[in-house]
Amino acid sequence: MPLLQAQLQQLRQVLASVQTPSGDYRSVMVVADNIVLAGAGQAGGYYYNVYLNLPQSGDASAIRQRFFLGTLGAFELSAAVHHGSATLSYPATAVMAGLEPAKLENLTVSLIRMNGENPPKGPVGTIGELRVELSSDAPVN
């Protein structure tokens, strides 16, 4: 997700103000929008760990928690898409505040599938859009 200079400037202001709240925006969210489950995805047997700017190498157990946003699973998706497509939001203020400033210019969201005992074969759904949103809500720890 490349950010425009104006967006990057606002994001940096929000992250700087986490220590001393000021301005209209106080936190950052990563939003997955227009999520649609495929037939195989409705049966469960899997979930995804969602990460922001997860490095390609390093000690997985030590590094992953630092970049972890949350999970995306069949149960929560089934409830959310009951009446069509779904939107899920992940608090990202703490993860972004821990990134080097240069890493904010081009964000990467990684979804790593974790299979259960009877995982579905193939794709389980689609995400129409991933985006970063600034929020006036207090950051979630």
Tell whether the model's pLDDT for residue 19 goes beyond 80.
no
- Report the Cα–Cα distance between both ends of the chain, in Å, rounded: 23
Tell whether the model's pLDDT for residue 103 goes beyond 80.
yes
Tell whether the model's pLDDT for residue 44 goes beyond 80.
yes
Q: What is the pLDDT of residue 140?
A: 79
Q: What is the pLDDT of residue 18?
A: 60
Domain locations along the chain: 5-20+38-135
Instruction: Tell me the pLDDT tens digit for each residue of 71-102.
Output: 998 887 777 777 767 889 999 999 998 888 88
Instruction: Tell me the pLDDT tens digit for each residue of 127-140.
Output: 999 999 988 888 87
Q: What is the pTM of this model?
A: 0.82
- Output the CA torsion 111→136→85→104 (10° steps): -30
- Residue spans of alpha helices (H) in the chain: 5-16, 60-67, 74-80, 93-97
Q: Concatenated DSSP letters for 62-94?
A: HHHHHHEEEEEEHHHHHHHTTTS-EEEEEE-HH
CA distance 91 to 68: 10
